[in-house]
Each structure stands twice: as structure tokens, then as C-alpha cells.
Structure 1
Amino acid sequence: MKIRVLIASLFFFMIGNVNAHQQKTAVTTISFNHRVNTIEVMHKFYLHDAEHAVRDLFDPSADILSSKATQNTFADYVQHQFAIESNDGKPLPLTFVGLELDGKYLWIYQETNIPEKISGMSISNGALQDLWPSQVNLVNIEGQGKLQSLLFEHSDRWLTVSLPE
């Protein structure tokens, strides 16, 4: 019985340690909203990763939890690291919609109009990869045919996806 308690205690201790470390993973969803003719972009970062990032990138005393200015600085950084081009090479101008803290996540929202004819997109997502080469950014594209995903690792600059017209 004591062995089981010891193993269970070690297991829960290890889970707690894993959750306390940086994840170095972010997820972005690009959603075609045909009802309002916009492409909505939702970046989801682990708050713990964002905390470390703002301290390493901007200010060692930065506080992303309580400082709206620090949150906006991080959002600006993410917006400069992310871009979408239509299949003909034209940049899609993204507008900042806002950000929110949601539990253990920080969300950053952008949008743009859906181009008249779009049969593909090139996407760049290098957020946090300049800071951590092991950072992985997953981008899901939904609402324009079947769900498609792109996985950005450190050496990826632009990845392309084909879309049904």
C-alpha cells in the first residue's frame, strides 16, 4: 500500500512540474466567416509562455497579468510575426480586434475581409521562434472547405494551403 501511495505522489508531483514549465506551443485559428465576409484570426498562447516572452523580449520586470500596456506590447509583437497573403501574393491587411486573458491563455484577435477570389493562402507565423527555436506554432484553417492545419517549426517562414473556390 505504501508503494502505491509513493508512486501516486510522484506521479502528481511530476504532473505539477510539467504544468509549471513553458509549453513553447501556440495555436492560431483562421476562420472564414462568410456571414460577415471576414477572415477571423485567433492566436492562443499559454499565458506562462507569454510571461516569459515579455520578460525576455522587452523588460525583465514586465507583468503581463496586470499591465494592459505589456499585454498590448505582446499583441503588437505577435501581429508583426504573423502574416497572410492570398494565392496571388497580395498581403491580406489584418486589423487588430483585441486581446483577452482567459484562464491560462492569452488570446489575440485579428481580422480582414475575405478577398473576392481566393483559392489559396500563404501564411507566416514566427511568433516566439526568434526567442525559442523549439517554439512550434500550429495554424488551423476552417470554414473554407475541410479543416486544414499547418505546423510552423523554427525553419519555416511561409507555408501554403490550397482552398476550394
Structure 2
Amino acid sequence: MIRRRALALGLALALAPLAGPVAEAHQQKIAISTIALNPRSGMVEIAHQVPVHDAEHALRVQGAKNPDIIGSAKSREDFAGYVTRRFLFQINGQVIEPAYVGSEITGGSLWVYQEAPAPAGSDPALLRFNSQILTDVWARQENRVNIGGGTNVATFIFKAGDAPRSAALTE
């Protein structure tokens, strides 16, 4: 019996250093948004990927009691509303409020989807955008915005208080 306890204690102590990175990994402090043109639908599609744990923490900071992104549609919708308010978007100088399409859980991430009509014409649309998702929760939050699709992607990184950036949206 003592031998088993000593073995279990030794194993626990040997694995303890590995627990540090796992414990810190819960709050990833990164969100990724992708803006792409869907030529089939004529829509500009926006997809935001946020770690579930970060989303739940943000809801707690906003006063939600026991948020559950995975098990509660209300928690998901509350956070999706937050995401849409913290992502600023313009097309060709006009402020756009993309329509909320929905959300889903994939792995450890909450995906929030939005779309807006693409401007008419053959010229590339000029986008202006700013992702401040979770920057009001963590000073070290980093948000990436990917513009385009396939092999033609430009990535922009935002932190708290950063100014909007611009890029052309091409197919």
C-alpha cells in the first residue's frame, strides 16, 4: 500500500512540470477573423474564431453568471453579439454592419459568422477593419485578421487601441 502511494506521488511529481503549460493554455488570448469574397453568393463572408474558454471568461467579465458556450445557446448568442460589436468594418468608405449568420462550436473554438453584400463592379473593394475582440478583457489580447482566400491571403495583427487598417479584397 505504501509502495503504491509512493509510486503515485513520484509519478505526480514527475508530471507536475508538464501541468504548467497546460494550465496556462486555457486562455489563449488570440482571435482570428477571416474576410473573404464568395463569388458564387456575391457576399463578403466574415468568420471569427475565438477559443471557447476565452469567450466564457469574457462573458463572466461582462457579468454573466456561469456562462456555458458549449451547452447554452444563450451564452453563444450573447458572445456572438459581443463579437459583432467589437469588429468594425467598412467597404469602400461606407460603414457596414454585416448580418449575423450564426455560430458553431468546432473543437475548442467558437465560430461566429457574418456576411455583407459585395459591392457591384469589377474593381477590388477597399476594406477598412479593426478587430478589438477581447481587447477590453486582456491587455495582451492579439487578434489576427486574414483578408482573402486560397494562397492570396494578407494577415493583419491588432492589439488594444490599434487603429483600423485597410486592404483590397480580391477573389
Could you tell me which residue of structure 2 aligns to residue 74 of structure 1? 79
Instruction: Write the mapping of 1:92-111 to structure 2, written as runs, cut at 5 A.
Output: 92-111=96-115
Gaps of 5+ in 1: none
Quick one: distance in 2 between partners of 1:133 and 1:39? 30
Report the alpha carbon displacement of residue 129 of structure 1 after superposing the two structures with TM: 0.8
Give the structure-1-normalised TM-score. 0.84
SS in 2 for 1:42: strand
Q: Using a 3 Å threshold, how does the CA distance of structure 1 residues 15 and 35 change in structure 2: closer, same or farther?
A: same
Q: Which aligned segments of 4 or more residues in structure 1 are displaced greater than 4 angstroms?
A: 5-8
2:91 aligned with 1:115: no
Contact persistence 1:42–1:108 (CA under 8 A): yes
Number of residue pairs matched by the alignment: 159
Q: Using a 3 Å threshold, how does the CA distance of structure 1 residues 112 and 12 change in structure 2: closer, same or farther?
A: same
Could you tell me which residue of structure 1 aligns to residue 47 of structure 2? 42
Could you tell me which residue of structure 1 aligns to residue 168 of structure 2? 162
Letter of the aligned partner of 1:75 in structure 2? A
Report the alpha carbon displacement of residue 158 of structure 1 after superposing the two structures with TM: 1.1
Q: Using a 3 Å threshold, how does the CA distance of structure 1 residues 32 and 133 change in structure 2: closer, same or farther?
A: same
Instruction: Write the mapping of 1:8-157 to structure 2, written as runs, cut at 5 A.
Output: 9=15, 12-19=18-25, 21-87=26-92, 89-117=93-121, 118-143=124-149, 146-157=152-163
Give the structure-2-normalised TM-score. 0.82
Contact persistence 1:144–1:163 (CA under 8 A): no
Superposed CA RMSD in Å reads 2.4
Report the alpha carbon displacement of residue 163 of structure 1 after superposing the two structures with TM: 4.2
SS in 2 for 1:26: strand
SS in 2 for 1:130: coil
- Indicate the structure (1 or 2) with the bigger Cα radius of gyration: 2
SS in 2 for 1:62: coil
